[in-house]
Amino acid sequence: MTALIFDCDGVLADTERYGHLPAFNATFAQFGLPVQWTEEEYGRKLKIGGGKERMASLFDDPGFAAAAGPGDRTEKLLTWHKAKTAAFKQLVAEGKIPPRPGIKRVILSAIEAGWTVAVASTSAEESVRAVLENAVGSAAAEIPVFAGDVVPAKKPDPAIYRLTVEQLSLDPAQTLVVEDSRNGLLSATRAGLNCLVTVNGYTRDEDFTEAVLVVSELGDEDRPPIEVLANRGRARPGAYLTLDDLRACLGGPA
């Protein structure tokens, strides 16, 4: 059976710039922490997989560690991250993080065609489910989500995709991953899966050599034609990607 596995952040929605970054900064302010990430600084933090891990990197600065005060560091990170997740979910609920173009169309078409659709992300499961429901509505209930700390290592480690394939009994040769970053691409390909990349503002200039197809977005009928940045497979995209284009990516690089 054909399967599509979507990353969440940057794929289902442009969550990094409009969701996670403001949620992190709101959390820092809430707890009186002496940091506010700019868009440029956050772009560098995105090289670190996982929200708690990004927060933990702040402790590399002795000044921040001193300002954070005494107490168990792990407990502090859990408390901060819980508050950050709540702030992120509020932004989703307020409609401030719209789905990326083509996501709803492609997911609903794939489900209607009998494909298996799943989401695999190393973000907090609550956040991922909120974004997914906002993107596809009631169909989200039938889409399995693998997220958060269900694996011991974050992307680019392949653990999250290996777990998804194993739990859903997928055929790797019939499974396509949709990612937006090099870390995600490496996670997918190291798990033996072909990968389509939809870039965003933070990831457009990353190296996607291993991807079968690299596009600006999945596209929709009422939008300008997509931009094909690299095509190493058999797909021949038009103005937007179709299930036939995605199916053509399953053969891997030509």
* DSSP state at residue 226: P
Cα–chain-centroid distance for residue 47?
13
What is the tens place of the pLDDT at every residue in 218-235?
999 999 999 999 999 999
Which helix (DSSP H) or strand (DSSP E) does residue 214 occupy?
A: strand 213-215
**Could you state, in order of their start, the residue ranges of all structural domains in the chain?**
3-14+98-251, 16-93
pTM greater than 0.85 (yes/no): yes
Both structure tokens of 230: 């690299």
- Catalytic residue numbers read 7, 9
> Given a cut of 80, is residue 254 above it in pLDDT?
no
Mean of per-residue pLDDT scores for the chain: 95
Both structure tokens of 174: 């019939």
For residue 20, what pLDDT band results from cuts at 50, 70 and 90? very high
What is the tens place of the pLDDT at every residue in 67-88?
898 889 999 999 999 999 999 9
**% of the chain exceeding 70 in pLDDT:** 100
The CATH code for residues 16-93 is 1.10.150.240
DSSP 62-121: HHHHHHH-SS-HHHHHHHHHHHHHHHHHHHHHTT-SPBPTTHHHHHHHHHHTT-EEEEE-
**% of the chain exceeding 90 in pLDDT:** 88
pLDDT at 185 (0 to 100): 98
140 to 107, 119, 229: CA distances (angstroms): 10, 10, 30
CATH architecture, range 3-14+98-251:
3-Layer(aba) Sandwich (3.40)
Strands of 175-179's sheet, edge to edge?
Answer: 145-146, 116-120, 3-6, 175-179, 194-198, 213-215, 228-231
For residue 7, what pLDDT band results from cuts at 50, 70 and 90? very high
Q: What are phi and psi of 120, to 5 degrees?
A: -130, 115
Please give the Cα distance from 248 to 244 (Å, whole number): 6
Both structure tokens of 171: 């055929």
Please give the Cα distance from 42 to 97 (Å, whole number): 17
What is the tens place of the pLDDT at every residue in 159-207?
999 999 999 999 999 999 999 999 999 999 999 999 999 999 899 999 9
What is the tens place of the pLDDT at every residue in 45-59?
988 988 999 999 999
Question: Cis omega before residue 98 (within 30°)?
Answer: no
Interval 121-144 mean pLDDT: 94
